[in-house]
Amino acid sequence: MGLMRSLLLAGSDSRWLREQATRRAFVRRAVSRFMPGESLEDALGTAPALRPDGIGLVLTRLGESVTDAAEAAAVAAHYGEALERIRATAVPAEISVKPTQLGLDVDPERCYSHVRALAERAASLGNFVWIDMEQTRYVDATLALCRRVRAERANVGVCVQAYLYRTAQDVERLIAAGAGVRLVKGAYREPPDQAFPRKRDVDDNYLELARRLLEPDARKAGVRPVFGTHDPRLIQAIAAHGAARGLAARQIEYHLLYGIQRAEQRRLAHAGHTVRVLVSYGSYWFPWYMRRLAERPANVLFVAKSLVRA
Q: Which positions are catalytic?
A: 132, 182
> How far, CA to CA in Å, does 103 sit from each of 13, 43, 59, 135?
20, 23, 19, 15
DSSP bridge pairs for 130: 96, 157
Alpha carbons 205 and 161: distance in angstroms, whole number:
10
Helix (H, G, I), strand (E, B) or coil at 201: helix
Q: What is the CA radius of gyration of the chain?
A: 18
157: phi then psi, degrees, rounded to nearest 5: -140, 170
Q: Which helix (H) or strand (E) holds 170?
A: helix 167-177
Alpha carbons 112 and 119: distance in angstroms, whole number:
10
Alpha carbons 188 and 141: distance in angstroms, whole number:
17
E-only strand ranges, the chain: 56-61, 93-97, 129-131, 156-161, 180-184, 225-227, 253-257, 274-281
- β-pair type (180-184, 274-281): unpaired
